[in-house]
Amino acid sequence: DAKTTQPPSMDCAEGRAANLPCNHSTISGNEYVYWYRQIHSQGPQYIIHGLKNNETNEMASLIITEDRKSSTLILPHATLRDTAVYYCIVNNFGNEKLTFGTGTRLTIIP
Amino acid sequence: KAGVTQTPRYLIKTRGQQVTLSCSPISGHRSVSWYQQTPGQGLQFLFEYFSETQRNKGNFPGRFSGRQFSNSRSEMNVSTLELGDSALYLCASSLAPGQGVYGYTFGSGTRLTVV
């Protein structure tokens, strides 16, 4: 079973920041938080991951709470191409098996 | 560089038949994982291969099998197809076991329809 809880859907206006929440209250100390997204008819795409510090890359920022029980993925300036299902996953380093939940369907509105 | 290549992209088979799907990982990637995606069950892990050995297996019946070749290319086979096997089958590659933490690269998948 997935160890994460995400809202099933969200809308965001184009050009605004999209903030996608994820609860992972049972996360253990050696588990990372990963985010992937899946655009229709394509395979999932890796976005970002983190352990306990906030992370930023060219795609997004990841904010992890101090107790690590929740996190937020931030797309700073959403575009129509960011419309996708976003998956939050917790996983041990070296565990090759990813357990996907149902994700959040993000729709960017023009 | 080329991404993960899965062939064929679409496939229609009849119940009872068997099917083989192919995955070519990114050049230099030696670990390959397979996932099944259905509307009802979402994305589910099938198995993972490294150095021609299955390292990890999901909770699927024995009709689902796979293998990996010395060039890291992988195939998965489903025998005695059932209607419920209709799904998008996705392959993901990483450099090696333990390197997937830096992000797996998924292919576009093979959409299998069983009629």
- What pLDDT, on the 0 to 100 scale, is given for residue B8? 97
- What pLDDT, on the 0 to 100 scale, is given for residue A1? 58
Average pLDDT over residues B51-76: 96
**Number of Cα atoms under 13 Å in the Cβ half of residue A50:** 21
Mean pLDDT computed over every residue of chain A: 92
pLDDT classification of A43: cutoffs 50, 70, 90: very high
pLDDT classification of A100: cutoffs 50, 70, 90: confident
- What pLDDT, on the 0 to 100 scale, is given for residue A96? 73
How far does A34 lie from chain B, in Å, by closest CA? 8
Residue A59 pLDDT > 90, yes or no? yes
Task: Name which residue leads in pLDDT, B16 or A94.
Answer: B16
- What pLDDT, on the 0 to 100 scale, is given for residue B102? 66
For A96, the closest of B56, B106, B108 (CB atoms) is: B56
Residue B96 pLDDT > 90, yes or no? no
Mean pLDDT computed over every residue of chain B: 93
How far does A17 lie from chain B, in Å, by closest CA? 24
Task: Give how far Cα A31 sits from Cα of A91, A107, A108, B77, Å.
Answer: 5, 29, 30, 32
pLDDT classification of B1: cutoffs 50, 70, 90: low
Q: Please give the residue of chain B at the shortest CA–CA distance from A48.
A: B103
Residue B49 pLDDT > 80, yes or no? yes
Q: Please give the residue of chain A at the shortest CA–CA distance from B4.
A: A43
CB contact under 8 A, A96 and B48: yes
- What pLDDT, on the 0 to 100 scale, is given for residue B113? 98
- What pLDDT, on the 0 to 100 scale, is given for residue A2? 61
Whether residue A37 contacts residue A44, with contact meaning beta carbons closer than 8 Å, is answered with yes
Measure the CA–CA gap between A92 and A98, rounded to whole angstroms: 9
Average pLDDT over residues B25-44: 92
- What pLDDT, on the 0 to 100 scale, is given for residue B97? 75
Whether residue B91 contacts residue B37, with contact meaning beta carbons closer than 8 Å, is answered with no
Whether residue A73 contacts residue A46, with contact meaning beta carbons closer than 8 Å, is answered with no
